[in-house]
Structure 1
Amino acid sequence: MLEILQEFWTSTGIYRIFDGEWKSLVMFIAAIILLYVGIAKKKEPYLLIPIAFGMLLVNMPGANLMGDEGLLHYIYWGTDKGVYPALIFLCVGAGTDFGPLIANPRSLLLGAAAQFGIFFTFIGAILLGFKGAEAAAISIIGGADGPTALFLTGRLAPHLFGPIAVAAYSYMALVPIIQPPIMKLFTTEEERKVKMEQLRPVSKKEKIIFPVVVAFITILILPDAAPLLGMLMFGNLIKESGVVPKLAEVAQDSLMYIVTILLGITVGAKANATEFLTLQTLGILGLGLVAFAIGTATGVLFGKIMYKLSGGKINPLIGAAGVSAVPMAARVAQQEGQKANPSNFLLMHAMGPNVAGVIGSAVAAGLLLKMFYVG
């Protein structure tokens, strides 16, 4: 009887923690913090709750959920092969209005400017000793686009998937905290008060033609961007066509939530304590924050240039929305604009750079994939 009890005790996760797997406790604390932020603070709960619980599950000693026969190992296939990120892009496309971008094509420049964070961070990662493919995967965090980061990392640096995925999604969730100080640092109160003219109405025909033309041109030039850009534009086309409302509805709602659950829990499941708690991980988290900060700053600075060139008609705050955290970054621009001027309504103006940022980050990922992928 004593032997049976002893065998049971040594098989428990509690025993394993005391027997050297103490790092799991650190990851449990991290998971609980993310759950608190998602549930109590209501900060991006759709992202943080699945990620945090996946982190909790994978660090349960002895559970082996990411092992060859583990449940999460099989679910992770869709993340590993880039299926879930591409489906997320389809859903984002089905829920996105490209009207503000079509009405103000100059927004593309702000979306492009915000991608500079990716390339600055690539150089920084190289200087810190990361290889080219690893640096490319790390740098894409600066686009504030979780699915793009997962898609690129799965191909260029799968061994860094855990820290890059957690960093990308954590910074996406922290957009309302990280961006405002940077926006205020690089703008004056007078600039933040600027009210912008109402955008011109965009016709139905323009909205239908846009995704077809963008997909055709960008994929011909950069075929490696096809999985993400193709799904993004396909999702937008089924929305704007108006003839398949059920498909658009499913993509915006049911499919989005299903894929978010699967993607989130597998992202968290890659945060294994043994692989995650390293100095390399801290370096990646730091570089990711730098990438995001630079992307926000360059977007705002380019917004200031447009403010000057337009004779003060463009509010530079909308440049911060050039990072592709849709629609969070656009909402932050709206909120900061209203703090400076309560009659300010920048949301639709900020959505132009915001959706341009989605396209920009996908293009940047395709470019980096072309340069470093060996398959």
Structure 2
Amino acid sequence: MLEALLEFFKSTGLYGLTPGAITMLLVGCVLLYLAIVKRFEPLLLVPIAFGVILTNLPLAGLMAEPVLEVKDNLIHTVQPGGLLYYLFQGDHLGIFPPLIFMGVGAMTDFGPLIANPKSLLLGAAAQFGIFITFIGAISSGLFTAQEAASIGIIGGADGPTAIFLSSKLSPHLLGPIAIAAYSYMALVPIIQPPIMRLLTSREERSIKMTQLRTVTTREKIIFPIIVTVIVSLMVPPAATLIGMLMLGNLFRECGVVGRLEDTAKNALINIITIFLGITVGATATAEQFLKIETLAILCLGVVAFGIGTASGVLLAKLMNRVFRMNINPLIGSAGVSAVPMAARVSQVVGQKEDPGNFLLMHAMGPNVAGVIGSAVSAGVLLSIFGG
């Protein structure tokens, strides 16, 4: 009887608990706390956190690979893999991030960018964080060029792009990179304001910008087509993300496919967000996550984010000084592609200086430009290091 009880105990997950597994279960609970109690990007962090918990449950096998054998020149499945293993193929094969981009495109109004093309420069400036952090990761000696490229893209504050690039260049780091990217996106209201205030004077933060012109429907329809063609010709590896982003936006603006637009920005993006989040979390096993490299990724990620924020602010100040423009530098911080949270932060910080100042629509220009910029940056890195 005692032996039977002992054998039963050995078959339970309790017997397989290790310090590493316990630590990761606690990490998952902390992420759930941040998502549910603190409301930090709950739509993303709840599935990611639960994926972390599921993958670190001993003997559950939710990320177990299938056991295959070759018999009579045919491959047979001896034992099927875990549920999350099969769902994870959407990350591994680069399917889920572009579909997320389609939904983002269907929800995005590129009107502020079209009305003020100069904001494209501010979105581009925010990408400096990606390349400076790439250099820093290489210099640390801890990472290869492919790994450093995947880490640097965190600076774009674009979770799907970070997942897309890391799944191509360094899939073994997908978990830490994705969790860092989404965590820093959730912390935009905490990370950005101190940097914005440090780099600007009260007078600069109070600058009032003129109202944007009205953008025609024709312009909004032509814009996604032109961007897709130009970007894809210049940076072919970026065509997947840019193409899906602009297809979703075309659904929104053309006015004749309301059902497709509704599906892309509601049902489809919600379903893919669940699958993407839970499988990204499921890659964060104790063996992969509890390393010195993970701590370095988290540190480099926040540096990338900070540099991206500062670069946009500083370029706006430079444009004011050199070209005698009247740009509120706060909108430069929205060049990171955390849409629309970064634009809202610009609005909040600006209104603290002058309650009558309305920067939201002006900040949306650099914000949506940052989405394009991060996808192009990922394409550049993929074309250089993906061969």
TM-score normalised over the length of structure 2: 0.94
Does 1:244 find its partner at 2:241?
no
Structure 2 equivalent of residue 26 of structure 1:
23
SS at match of 2:208: coil
Give distance in 2, aligned partners of 1:102 and 1:116: 23
Moved more, 147-156 or 32-41: 32-41
The residue number in structure 1 matching 2:74 is none
Could you list the runs of 5+ residues in structure 2 that have no partner in the other structure?
66-80
Aligned amino acid, residue 231 of structure 1:
M
Pairing 1:49–2:61 present: no
- Which of these residues, 13, 37, 52, is aligned with residue 40 of structure 1? 37
2:343 to 324, 330, 337: 330
Q: Deviations over 1:293-317 (max 9, x none)?
A: 1000111111111233464621000
Pick aligned residue for 2:57 from 52, 60, 74 = 60
Alignment of 1:102-141 (within 5 A): 102-129=114-141, 130-141=143-154
SS in 2 for 1:358: helix
Q: Does 1:358 align with 2:358?
A: no
Deviation (angstroms), 1:273: 0.9
Instruction: Supply the distance in 2 between the matched residues of 1:183 and 1:25 (Cα, whole angstroms).
Output: 39
Matched ranges for 1:115-264 at <5 A: 115-129=127-141, 130-264=143-277
TM, length-normalised to structure 1: 0.97
Deviation readout 1:151-181 (Å, 9 max, x if unpaired): 0001111111111111111111111111111
- Amino acid corresponding to residue 131 of structure 1 in structure 2: T
Post-superposition Cα deviations, 1:104-138, rounded to whole Å, max 9, x if no partner, equal 00001000000000010011011011211111111
Q: Which runs of 4+ in 1 moved over 3 A?
A: 309-312
Counterpart contact for 1:194–1:312, Cα < 8 Å: no
Question: Is the aligned partner of 1:317 residue 2:330?
Answer: yes
Secondary structure of the 1:3 match is helix
The answer to whether residue 102 in structure 2 is matched with residue 90 in structure 1 is yes
State the SS of the aligned residue for 1:76: helix
**Cα distance between partner residues in 2 of 1:43 and 1:281:** 21
Q: Percent identity?
A: 63
Q: SS at the partner of 1:314?
A: coil
> Which 5+ residue runs of structure 1 have no aligned equivalent?
none
Contact 1:306/1:316, CA 8 A, preserved across alignment: no
Q: What is the CA–CA distance in structure 2 between the aligned matches of 1:347 and 1:310, rounded to whole Å?
A: 23
Residue type of the partner of 1:146?
G
8 Å CA contact 1:163, 1:284 repeated in 2: yes
Quick one: which amino acid aligns to residue 115 of structure 1? Q
**CA-atom RMSD, angstroms?**
1.0
Give the corresponding residue for 1:13.
13
Other-structure match for 1:296? 309
Q: 1:276 aligns with which of 276, 280, 289?
A: 289
Larger deviation, residues 305-314 vs 228-237? 305-314
Quick one: distance in 2 between partners of 1:289 and 1:334?
Answer: 22
Partners of 1:304 and 1:271 in 2: how far apart? 40
